[in-house]
Chain A
């Protein structure tokens, strides 16, 4: 029972890190970026390739996955995304879903479509029992890393100068520009960090979720559920939504395997009927 709760939390945390970047771009920058999963996949493949081809240790690949995806995100933001900011949402959706399909085919062509395997260091394998609760070491690791990230993100957004600049730039770019804030740079950085987080999530998730070229399509639904259920104006919203979904998914599959993955969708429909703006979304926010 508690073991299940633990598994659910770990799964939820992983979903959170994978989708929080999307919450940032979608909620703060007001850009519908369906290609988010492609960045997550890029991070996953960075880890896999570094480990399997170059023999880099697992822990060292994590920051590299973050860094690589962040740079990739920054390059894309500069060249492809920026011209799309002022376009209608439908254009953004079509543009980014196109990117997803290109990423899927590209990876398939370059690396191949088979499942990629990594082996995490032995101290992260297996599990131990803590007062009758079976704790998978790797899952505990995920919870710790993701927990730290959440705290850091929240601090950056609410306490730092960059956070207030970002919020100002989002609310009214023209006035922010007039006040001497370099809006372009703020957006660039934000997008890079959002992509980097996705990449880190992909790297962490490679062990649990598996990694193959259709990854961005396979998990797009989950990202979107987390963001829409959690609302896009805060960090805590997606966090709670991800945890709720992770736990509901694990419990549902344990107690009612016949219903399978349907539990997640039922929960989403229930929450969105009750609060269409998401759990923590503010009414009337854009």
Chain B
């Protein structure tokens, strides 16, 4: 009698559990992308969205028996919104992976949520070195500014550039770029004449550029968030700096492929260091650029390739868990992935969960009537220098 009652109580419970398990296997696998689709960094969101959709179109929307569902939310580049949206995605939508994050503060604001909920967070844009240390659940497929800045410092030091003014946007990535460019450049015998930081929301670059002009350096090293390069380049020319013999060097953000053609001849000859150029000469990239341009009206930039690779990392991780998912298992499967990306060979470092890739030195040239970042030098398999020092 008693036994039967216990059994009666347990049986539905067990059945229920079993059903839930089976249900989880067939439930869609949700990827919540939080991107700035409006506001100052909207081009970042637009690029990553297009790339993620392209990846799905090319690789199917079912992985290991589970349907992939892409949820794209706009945070307009405001950290408070990012955090709130991440919370909603985790609690209400029960997403399996968070992805996106256009700017450093946005990624940093969300990191605690990823840790608490044990949800992997794939950063496909924000590029401050420190981000991946903010949570053990963060994996990055974009790049880090120290990677690009150090490569530029190395190149500048070896190419007859002696005096440099740095001009960066005053927030974490800018300060990263400034710091790592400086240390590498000084090591190569260069001299920094002035360090200028401009506010994140500066409508007018005139006073900063005038200071650059008055300091008469050989070159000015510039970092600006993606999307602001064109406005800057315009004022650079307006001030006559292009004709005064001051070279413009920087990380690839200023000659963003997305806007490069709008900049016009001013951009010619600008030398930058970055992990991706749409003109990268490899069959994988040619296919990628062709498909991307066919699906959209614009050229992919380094943000797009990060979004594309981010999707790849998520897909392969889900495949490795045989469709089961689960935060820790996914994370383990993301670590150490090595693959051929449109940008070249890419590895997700198992220890730092950060991306390791080649950094190219490029120069803007006109090819077939269009402006491109033409790669002419490369540093192979660059790890994030920001983390080398910490260890």
Interface on A for B, CB 8 Å cutoff? 3-4, 7, 11, 108, 112-115, 117, 119, 125-127, 134, 136, 138-139, 207-210, 212-214, 218-219, 249-254, 257-258, 260-261
- Chain B residue nearest to A222 (CB atoms) is B203
Known interface pairs A261-B199, A261-B202; 12 further A-B residue pairs with C-beta atoms within 8 A, sorted by A's residue number:
A3-B210, A115-B231, A117-B262, A209-B204, A210-B231, A212-B42, A218-B201, A249-B204, A250-B204, A257-B196, A258-B197, A260-B170
How many B residues are at the interface, by size bracket?
Answer: 35 or more
Interface residues of B (CB under 8 A from A): 37-40, 42-43, 46, 170, 196-199, 201-204, 206-208, 210-211, 213, 227-228, 230-231, 234-235, 237-240, 243, 259, 262, 264
Minimum CB–CB distance from A226 to chain B (whole Å) comes to 14
Tell me if A119 and B264 are in contact (CB < 8 A): yes
- What are 13 A-B contacts with C-beta separation under 8 Å? A7-B210, A11-B204, A113-B39, A115-B227, A115-B231, A253-B202, A253-B204, A253-B207, A254-B207, A254-B210, A257-B207, A257-B208, A261-B201
Using a Cβ cutoff of 8 Å, how many contacts connect chains A and B? 96
Within 8 Å CB of A126, what residues of B? 237-238, 240, 243
A114 near B46 with CB under 8 A, answer: yes
Are A113 and B37 interface neighbours, CB within 8 A? yes
In the complex where A11-B204, A218-B203, A260-B199 touch, is A114 in contact with B42 (Cβ < 8 A)? yes
Contact check, A253 vs B231: say whether CB atoms are below 8 A apart: no
Measured between beta carbons, the chain B residues less than 8 angstroms from A117 are: 230, 234, 259, 262
Residues of A contacting B40 in the complex (Cβ-Cβ under 8 angstroms) = 212, 214
Closest 8 CB pairs of A and B: A113-B42, A253-B207, A254-B207, A260-B199, A117-B262, A7-B206, A250-B207, A209-B203
Instruction: Find the residue from A7, A125, A126, A257 having the highest chain B CB count within 10 A.
Output: A257
Distance A214 CA – B43 CA, assembled complex (angstroms): 14
Please name the residue on chain B nearest to A52 by beta carbon.
Answer: B262
When A214-B40, A218-B203 are in contact, do A253 and B238 touch as well, CB less than 8 Å?
no
- What's the Cα separation between A218 and B235 when bound, in Å? 20
From B46, B208, B213, B264, A253 is in contact (CB under 8 Å) with: B208
Give bound CA distance, A113 to B298, whole Å.
Answer: 14
Whose C-beta in chain B lies nearest to the C-beta of A208?
B204
- CA gap between A254 and B205 in the complex, in Å: 10
Residue in chain B with minimal CB distance to A138: B238
Residue with the greatest number of chain B CB neighbours at <10 A, chosen from A114, A136, A261: A114
